[in-house]
Amino acid sequence: MNPPVWCLRADVAAELKSLKRYSVFTFQRMKFMNRTSPHYCRRSVLSLLISALIYAPPVMAAFTTNVIGVVNDETVDGNQRVDERGTTNNTHIINHGQQSVYGGVSNGSLIESGGYQDVGRNNNYMGQSNNTTINGGRQTIHDGGISTGTIIDSGNQDVYTGGISNGTTIKGGNSHISGGTANGTIIDGGGQTVTTQGHVDGTTINKSGYQDITQGSMATNTIINGGRQYVEQSTVGTTTIKNGGEQRVYESHALDTTIEGGTQSLNNKSTAKNTQIYSGGTQIVDYTSSSDVIEVYSGGVLDVSGGTATNVTQHDGAILKTNTNGTTVSGTNSEGAFSIHNHVADNVLLENGGHLDINAYGSANKTIIKDKGTMSVLTNAKADATRIDNGGVMDVTRNATNTIINGGTQNINNHGIATGTNINSGTQNIKSGGKADTTNISTGSRQVVEKDGTATGSNISAGGSLIVYTGGIAHGVNQETGSALVARLAP
């Protein structure tokens, strides 16, 4: 119970009335009633003072505003400046707090949401920020500033021209390199954007992370480990793409790329040089772009659709996907030199998922189709002297001449015409609307004529077979002893 007013002298009552929340009083400052005052009045005044002390909130410790020595374990909620004479350790920068490290050193700072750390030069001394954690706040590195070992849980890091970031780990949030330099960044989540001729080196982009390189910037010695890199009007060099990583290149240059498991796509007049493509890796060259000096190993994919790929070395098991529609490809494969130019494909090797489209008014000569390789001869196109080995497939919608089938399959589709085919082993299927003329069917091979298909002048050797389904046509057949001519009902 508060004492009645008559228990206090007027000066005491006035002092109590003016109490502030964070003031500390002693009994010596208070002037109570004399000893003849009622006992309950003295006790009531004492209770009031004790209550005020108990319920007063704690006072936040003040921080050093101008650091010229060493300070430890401070919480900054205003402006703190650390010049070349100063060092801070384990600073906690909270909302509305700003630490300006101009020539000094900051170690182990934590920047919370709304907090800000600015690092730069002062009197030719470099500002340094070491082992900072950004948890919703912002760190800015200006000319003459260096950050080392920053961890971005959330929030932002900005590195401007003349600023350097070393060994940053991005778990969330973003690092923005605008004309500055970043070395050894690890992107686990969130991303890094590099603009205005910025330079990044030794970046690792893990799954869920991304990096954008734009506006004349450069990225070197990058590992795209399941993450994504976007490149526009810039240069990237010595890149490794693996574990499903992706690099998209627009109006840019990509040098010395190793694709172990992932994709590099060249778009909008981009160029690439010295690319190695291993199993699970793919390089895609669009119709405006080019790639030079390419090594494609077993299981690797080179996909060229209208663009240019030169000095290609296609190793056994390598996958080539391309067409004759404005595409230029040249190099060597296990059969020798090959090329695609001016709508003509020569000595192309298709295997292991490789594919070649012979587009309208295009042609292919001496194509080799091996296991899991495919080729399509489209409307108004032609193919000559194709070899189809075991597991290879050739689809003909227009003209195929002098084909050799060694265990593979040739499908003559509607409007397709095959002339002078030699089936040493394997199968020729004449579909509805397809035609085959002068086919030689050897031992262990067969020609199948489906409904509305036509075979003319087929020569069946001993051990070979011609199967004609209901509605199919076979005439002018030459049948040796031991061969089979079989009529079947259409399936």
pTM for the complete prediction? Answer: 0.86
Rounded Cα distance, 276 and 86, in Å: 50
CB atoms within 10 A of CB 180: 26
- 68 φψ region: left (φ > 0), alpha (ψ -120 to 50), beta (else): alpha
Strand 116-120 versus strand 133-141 pairing type: parallel
Sequence spans of domains, the chain: 5-55, 66-166, 178-488
CB atoms within 10 A of CB 160: 18
Residue range 12-33, pLDDT digits in tens: 344 434 433 333 333 333 333 4
Q: How confident is the model at residue 487 (pLDDT cuts 50, 70, 90)?
A: confident
Sequence-distant (≥ 6) Cβ neighbours of residue 238 within 8 angstroms: 220, 221, 222, 255, 256, 257
Q: Which residues pair with 209 in a beta bridge?
A: 190
Rounded Cα distance, 367 and 27, in Å: 105
pLDDT of residue 61: 53
Neighbouring C-alpha atoms within 13 Å toward the C-beta of 351: 20
What is the rounded average pLDDT of the residues 29-42? 42
What is the rounded average pLDDT of the residues 425-440? 98
Residue range 50-74, pLDDT digits in tens: 444 444 444 455 899 999 999 999 9
Q: How big is the CA angle at 113 (ends 208 and 91), to the nearest 5 degrees?
A: 110
- For 15, phi then psi, to 5°, come to -70, -40
pLDDT of residue 489: 86
Q: Which residues pair with 272 in a beta bridge?
A: 254, 291
The pLDDT of residue 476 is above 80: yes
Residue range 388-426, pLDDT digits in tens: 999 999 999 999 999 999 999 999 999 999 999 999 999
- Which structure tokens are listed for 127? 């500002």
Rounded Cα distance, 196 and 198, in Å: 6
Rounded Cα distance, 385 and 228, in Å: 43
Nearest to 487, CA basis, from 451, 456, 461, 457 = 451
Q: Are the CB atoms for 423 and 402 separated by under 8 Å?
A: no
Q: Are the CB atoms for 339 and 329 separated by under 8 Å?
A: yes
Torsion of CA 341, 327, 344, 382, to 10 degrees: 180
